Structure 1
Amino acid sequence: MKTRHYLGIMLLFIALFQSCKKDETRAILASDEGIKPATLSLDKNNVTLSKDNAKDTVLHLTMIQPDFGFQAAVTNVLQFGLKGDNFKTVKEVVIPSGRTTVGFTGYELNSYLLSLGVPTGTASDFDVRLKSSINAKITVVFSALASLKAVPFASTSYLYVPGAYQGWDPATAESLVSPTSNGIYTGIILFPEVNSEFKITTERNWANSYGQTADGKIAFNGGGNIKAPRAGNLEIEVNTTANTISFKDHNWGIIGSATPKGWDADTDMKFDNANQVWKLTVSLTAGEIKFRKNHDWGTNFGGANGTLAAGGANIAVASAGTYTIVVDFNANTYTLTKK
């Protein structure tokens, strides 16, 4: 009986040892060497974009999820870059969780490609890849490149927003932009106070304008002054087909040990609609900063060497001084220029 008892203990010990070895193997598979990047394929590699196919789905991508060696929630981001540029200028599009196929309309693809600064009406070559990550401790991996040749079309149009916030001058007013000229215009404007009044003009003059007729409704060459529902940076969307206007908070600020408010609160930036960048001139101390949206950690960017990364590392500020900060969330770049 003792022999059986000892034999049972030995078998249990061997089983536990083997289980530990399996866990050890699984940890090794989770190392950089064991990671398998996602695979990406496009249903076409040559597309001509125009207003005629702008509402059609013009490009499909199919992907196989990456394998990090263990079960984990993966974030996949599709990157468009200029061919041979090594993604120095990049447009990123987050792929919804769990999706293995995604389609893009002509409007969507056109706006992505135009954000890279390519000319319209002529073919340009692009590199496309998937960036996959699970957390900051595991190396980001990239799929093999897919090639795309595309001809974007010119379609950008503007509206202008003169109002009390800038002295009612259409010539210097902030703008709303429609990248696809589809009647939907957006822009971000800093209003100093609630109920700050403004109108919307079609040119930088008062020849034609939109006013408000009811909450969320506007009329061409009619209605009264429109009122900002609250103070702060507000993203305005105007639909000139439906004659509607809406507002939502859209603010970016800096936070961190180098900023005036430390890690306790944001110092807000201002959006430059004409150049589609966020700007701030501010006194900083030696320390660290990050960029945060709408005063919340749900969306934040860090980075290094002028390149932004979602949820990335704190950005170092080497010495105290007055800095001009410019951030481009389309290209995911930033500059800190000491005066």
Structure 2
Amino acid sequence: MKNIAKSLIALFAVLAVSCSSDDVEDRPIIRAIDGPALIAPDGGSYVLNIESANNLAERFMWTSANFGQDVAINYEIQLDAADGVDEFAEPRSLGSVIGANQLAVSVVTLNTAAIALGGVPLEEKQYVVRVKASVNDTFEPIYSNPVTISITPYQAFVPLQNLYLVGNATEYGYNNNAGNSPLFRDPGNQYKFYYTGYFTGGNGEGIKILSALGNWHPQYGSAGAGILAVSGADGSNEPSPIFVPSSGYYELTIDIQEMTYSLEPFTYNPATMPTFGSVGIIGAATPGGWDADTDMTNSTANPHLWKIDNIALTQDVLKFRANDSWDTPGNWGGGTPISGQMSINGGDFVGVAAEGNYSVWFNDLDRRYIFIPR
């Protein structure tokens, strides 16, 4: 029995050696012989615009690479900034194909890559583009000649999200369409919002935040101290309110990208933050020009929060002022379009990016404002 076992082992060993030798002899030799050559484009300038986002920007074309065997070759178009330092160290891919010698790249693809590589909207910048040819991860890829091009990207339009207060800590209660106040967007960060004002608290009252008036979901709230959460559009995973510990003035800050929030007491000083009899908007952009204020309204619950529900504005300058007077501290300006924070006695500023009808909100406690298209 032992002799039979030894014979079988010896036979398997011979077969194993025989198979291994044949495999080695028959295995195809893959080696980088010739890289691809990028033949189109051979340079050029691309001025991109959002109206043509889905159109063809360029059809890149190249010659075949040679790896010494008839193998499937993956070709990838790579783009990098032409800064002369570590070019192609971290390139952006414009797409890839297997076995083909051309790739159609859209305007939006080229624009996204250019912005990611440090491009500034409406400013021309130099880039380098090349073809990467590879077989698999076992073998080193080979590359084409680099070609320099210039790209002028556009500013990708990102719809601005408006958020609104709701909850029994607010004057609106749990009514999702009662003229609820918006939060005030940070002018430099479209995902960050503020609201300074009086909240009722101390008996379990809380705040929630609506994504749109008249709709309960998606809805923002708390998932724990400082952690912002949002419900699904179908109402799933509804978060808890942001609870207000006691009645008083607070500054609420939320970030819907970082998904964080803070609710901090706000020091209200009636001596430096008076209650104004009226607040209006005035300037060349407004219906009354510089001759007459368009008055705003407020509520007894929030006497420092002012609004106009519907006003026709042009893309021109304006200011805010109290009591139809230029006296301080009720004279505000020096803002930025759409949203921001004005200065006392600040200068004229352009409030909107396009002519149209707007709802305008202004908080005289922190001098924040927002223009919301109707």
TM-score by length of 2: 0.37
Relative to its length, the structure with more strand (as a share) is 1
The structure with the largest alpha-carbon Rg is: 2
